[in-house]
Each structure stands twice: as structure tokens, then as C-alpha cells.
Amino acid sequence: MPHRLPRRRFLQTTSAALVGALVGTGMPGQAAPAARAPADRLPRTNLLVYRQRNGEVRPVRRRSHWRQRRAEILHGMVAIMGPLPGRRKRVPLEPAVSEEVDCGSHLRRLIHYTSEPGCRTPAYLLIPKPALAARTRLPAVLCPHPTDDRVGHGVVVGLGGTRYPAYATELAERGFVTLAPAYPLLANYQPDIRALGYASGTMKAVWDNLRGLDLLETLPFVRGGAFGAVGHSLGGHNSVFTAVFDDRLKVIVSSCGLDLFTDYYDGNPEVWRPERGWCQLRYMPRLLEYAGRLEEVPFDFAELIGALAPRVCFLSAPLRDANFKWKSVARVVAAARPVYALLGKPDNLLVEHPDCEHDFPEAMREKAYALLAEHLGGKSFQMVKP
């Protein structure tokens, strides 16, 4: 039988119509049509308003009102990304180990799992040795990788000699099981996402990550039900996108991963062209339709961070990041914070602005790892430098 998760583990929507828009048929070879977003989108940085069924816009005063606003945010996401695949794609995972390396404190396994019919997704699985020796269950963290077209997901386990930090390895050394799936259309992972039925590489990555969480829940040495996600750059927004669709992710860390679409490269029209910036096939090509009218994009990152509430979310936005602007991230946080307050967890949204460029510095990683240890369990100690 296919491995299926209890229905309650996915974030619930407010109507059968919304479920139909969010979840596709999962039929390969059929890219789903765009879901229809409201013509007059709600304010991207005022999250405490919602649209009633009669179309009237009213202030959010209760959690039920917020659920209606959140549902509209998800509608906007699938209008651009395409629908989240349905049960027909949740086939047996059939994981297989291609390579195993003893890294001292942990084992590093290169694995492949069946994310859907016709697609085997590669990932690095890092297992602290105590988990195997003592038969204990450890917390697990999803580690989406930054952009790298040479070694891909290898960068977060220390391969390739890149400037990116090996955060999957650092977490494994701290006693976390980590999983780092490859991102579609980078390095050696080249699925035909159109033939598989996707409108975007973003949604394919989300689905691969969700199936990675499914895999973690089958492992005897993993403490299931609550996971973390840590990502830098591409991995930062990949973590956020995935967590919006799956509430098994309880702690979400995004470094240099986002700003408002209206602020991206200061609105430079050159980055809103075919196969540029967010409009690439591996991201969301439907965004090209909004070139020159970015204020109409039917979702934005302030809304996505709000949609993570009340879960723990930590954003690192460096002062000198030329890709994603820290002032825009500050506006994202200011817009999302009232939602956290409404849901009773105002302190679960955190932001830092380190004085560096597009980087995930050690101090920010230390804070991220401490949050994971606090909320998921696990070790929290300073990294030992050679």
C-alpha cells in the first residue's frame, strides 16, 4: 500500500473548493491550469483583513477570520506554482542507498527515493552514530540547499569546496538526523517537470521535500511528527514554501531567502524576463505574466511568513545582501508579526540583520541550531573549530 500520512498532519483549508484548487490530480504529462486568483488581491502587507464569501473585505478579529485569509494566500500560491500533487503521487518510497561514508560522528548516505511515479529523487541522509548504536530516536531537520549547479545538494554536506556552509553536516554533528534533497533542474537532478505535470520547479521541489518528510517518518531512528527546516538562499525560500504546505515543519529557518516581490532587485525589469530571476522554469515561470505589475502577484512573502504562524520562524537578512534586501525583510516581518500575536505566539517570529553580504554566518547558524534544540530537542553547543 502507498505510504500515506494522517489527514490531520496537513494544514487544513476552509472549504472543499479550496482543496480542489490546492491539490492536483497528480497525472503525469498534464501541467495543471492556473488556479484563479481574486482579481483585486488583498493588501500584501496588511494581513489582518480577509475577504468574506460575499466578497466584502473585513478586519481579521478572530482565528477563524485568519483561516479565511490564509486560504486565500494558498490560492494565490497555487495560481503561480501550480497545485500540490494529490494521493496518486504518494507511491511507495522504496529508498535505496547508493553510497555510505563514515564521517566520524555520523554516517553520510547518498540515497534515492521515489517521490512520485517515474521520478527517483536523490538526497543526502546524515545519521548520527548514537542513533544506530543505542537505537534511540533523534530529531530530524530538512536541509534544502542553496543554488549550486555543480554539486547541488552536496554543498550542505561539505562537498564541492564551495563558500556555502555545510549546515546539514553541522546539525548531524550536533545530534540531528538531516536530510538534504536535491533541487530539481540543478546539477545532476534533471527531472522533466513538464512531463511530470508541474507548472513550476518550485512545486516539484515542495513535493520532493514533503516526500522526504514522509521518508523521515519511516526511519526507526527518527523522532517523527515534528521536524525543522534550515535553508540558505534558494534553500531559504524552499524551506518557507514547503512549510506553508506542511505543518510537520515546526521550526523554519531562512537565511538570505526572500524579500517582497515588489522589492526584488529594486523592481529592475531586467530580472522579470523569461528564464531570469524568479521567472525561470526551476522557480515559477508564471510570474512572468506579472512583469511590470508586481503589485498584482497573488501572493508575497509577508503573507507566506504570516501563513507559518504560530510556528517558530527565524529569518536572517544581512545588511549587505545584494540579492534580498534587509529593509524589505523588515517590512515582511512587521506585516507578519500581528498574525503571530493574534495566534498567541508573538515571540515565535524572529529576525536578525548580520553585517555581511549574501551569507549564513556562524553566529546566525548558532542561533538557528539553538532554536532547533529548544523546540525539537537535541544538543546545543558551540561548534568546535579545527
Q: What is the pLDDT of residues 132-165, one digit of tens each?
A: 887 789 999 999 999 999 999 999 999 987 789 9
Tell me what pLDDT residue 7 has. Answer: 35
Tell me what pLDDT residue 37 has. Answer: 54
Contact between residue 66 and residue 42 where contact means Cβ atoms under 8 Å apart: no
Tell me what pLDDT residue 267 has. Answer: 87
**CA nearest neighbour of 222 among 302, 127, 311, 153:** 127
Tell me what pLDDT residue 254 has. Answer: 98
The low-confidence residues of the chain, meaning pLDDT below 50, are: 1-21, 25-33, 380-386
Contact between residue 11 and residue 180 where contact means Cβ atoms under 8 Å apart: no
Tell me what pLDDT residue 191 has. Answer: 98
Tell me what pLDDT residue 24 has. Answer: 54
**Model confidence, pTM:** 0.90
Angle at 200 between CA 320 and CA 33, to 5 degrees: 135
Compute the radius of gyration of the chain from its Cα atoms. 20
Tell me what pLDDT residue 163 has. Answer: 85
Question: What would the 3-class secondary structure string for 327-338 be?
Answer: HHHHHHHHHHHH
Q: Rounded CA gap, 25 and 30, in Å?
A: 9
Residues 6+ apart with CB under 8 A from 195: 28, 29, 118
Q: What is the SS3 assignment for 31?
A: coil
